[in-house]
Amino acid sequence: MLEFICDEIDASCSNDTNHPYYSRPIFEAVRQDAYKVVQQILSRSYNLIDFKNQQGHNIIQLAVINRSEKVYNLFYPIIKRTESYSTMTDSSMNNLVHLAGRLAPSYVLSRTPLPQVQHCNYSVSSNGVRSRWILQEVEKLMLPTHLLKENIYMETPEMETGIPLFRKEIAFTIFAVADAISLFSAATSLLVFLSIITTHFSKKDFRESLPRRLIIGLCVLFISATAIMVAFCTALYLVFCDQRPWMLAPIGGLACLPIAVIATLQFPLVVDLFISTSFPIFQKDKFDFVESEILLRMDEE
C-alpha cells in the first residue's frame, strides 16, 4: 500500500525530487517513529533529508527530539562518519547532543509510565527520580512476596503418627513439589528485592544492575505465585474432588485468574526493562541504502 501511494505521488508530480507532497508525511512519520515510511520516501526523494520544518529542524534533528530510535538508526552510521551531520545545529545553535538533552515530548513519555524505562537511555532524569521509582516498586512487590512465603506450606497430618494422609497420592507429590518451588522462589524473590533496596544507586547500577535485578525478582515472583496456585489446587483436589469431581473445573479456572492478572500487569514492565537493558538503541549498518546515498552525493559534490 505504501509503495502504491508513493507511485501515485511520483506519477502526479514533476521530476523535482523536493516536491512538497512528501514533506509533511515524512515529518509525521519521523514523529511516529515509522521508519519504513521514512525509508520508502527517502528512496524516492532523498533530498528531503535536508528539508526543514517550521521550527528549523530536519528529519535527523526531529528524530532526536521525538526519541524516534528506529528512524535515527537509519542515519546513525552516517552521523558518525560525516562531520557535517554530526555537528549540524538548528536555528538556535543547538546540536544533536543539546536536542537529546531536552525533555521528550509528553506523548513520548506517555508511551510507558515507567520513569526508569523512559529515561534509562537519556540524561534527562536525575538519580533521585529513578531511585524513588525503584524503591516504590520494590516496596509494592515485597508485601505479596512475604505473604506468599508465609502461606505456602499446607498439609493434612495423621493424628497419631503425624504422617500426611495423602502421601501415597500422585496429587500430593505434585503439591509437595509445587509447595517447595513456591517457598524457594518466594525467598529468592524477597532476597533479590532486598538487594535492590541496599544498593548504592550509582549511575552504572541504573544502567545494568538494578533493571536486571528487578527483572529477576519479578520473574521469580511470578514462578512463586504460579507454584502456590498449583499447590492450592492440588490440596483442594485431594480434599474435595474425590467426592465432587465437578469442582475440578472451577478450581482450575479460579487458580488461573491471579496468574493471568500478575502476567498482564507485570509483563509490560519486564519487557520494557529487558529491551532497555539488553538491546542497544543504535544498530549499526542496519540500513545500507542511506549510507550509500549520502556517500554518492558527497562524491558528486
At residue 221 the predicted structure's pLDDT band, cuts being 50, 70 and 90, is confident
In angstroms, the Cα distances linking 91 to 52, 53, 74 are 10, 11, 23
186 and 150 in contact (C-beta within 8 Å)? no
Cell of 15: 521530476
3-state secondary structure of 246: helix
Please check whether residues 216 and 294 belong to one and the same domain.
Answer: no
Please check whether residues 268 and 127 belong to one and the same domain.
Answer: yes
Please check whether residues 262 and 293 belong to one and the same domain.
Answer: no
Higher pLDDT, 31 or 137: 31
Q: Is the pLDDT of residue 8 over 70?
A: yes
Which domain, by its residues, includes 70? 2-113+283-300
Please check whether residues 165 and 262 belong to one and the same domain.
Answer: yes
Burial class (CB in 10 A: 0-12, 13-18, 19+), 274: middle
Region 151-170 average pLDDT: 55
pLDDT for 110: 64
Please check whether residues 93 and 171 belong to one and the same domain.
Answer: no
* Nearest C-alpha neighbor of 178 from the set 240, 226, 216: 226
Chain mean pLDDT for the chain = 72
pLDDT for 17: 52
DSSP for 103-150, written as a single string? PPPHHHHTT-S-HHHHHTTSTTS-HHHHHHHHHHHHHHHHHHHHHHHH
Judge if pTM exceeds 0.75: no
Q: What is the DSSP letter of 55?
A: T
* Nearest C-alpha neighbor of 151 from the set 176, 183, 174, 194: 183
Please check whether residues 88 and 187 belong to one and the same domain.
Answer: no
What CATH number does residue 49 fall under? Answer: 1.25.40
Spatial neighbors of 183 by CB under 8 A, at least 6 apart, are: 149, 152, 153
255 and 262 in contact (C-beta within 8 Å)? no
Region 192-197 average pLDDT: 81
Please check whether residues 197 and 296 belong to one and the same domain.
Answer: no
pLDDT for 159: 46
Region 9-16 average pLDDT: 66
Please check whether residues 159 and 262 belong to one and the same domain.
Answer: yes
79-118: b (≥16 Cβ within 10 Å) or e: beebeebeebebeeebebeebbeeebeeebeeeeebbbbb
| C-alpha torsion 29→34→40→44, nearest 10 | 20
Q: What is the DSSP letter of 209?
A: I
Overall domain count for the chain: 2
- Please state, in angstroms and rounded to a whole number, the distance separating the CA atoms of residues 165 and 152: 18
Please check whether residues 79 and 185 belong to one and the same domain.
Answer: no
pLDDT for 142: 58
Please check whether residues 134 and 265 belong to one and the same domain.
Answer: yes
Q: Is the pLDDT of residue 294 over 60?
A: no
Please check whether residues 96 and 136 belong to one and the same domain.
Answer: no
Please check whether residues 25 and 127 belong to one and the same domain.
Answer: no
Region 187-193 average pLDDT: 84
pLDDT for 148: 54
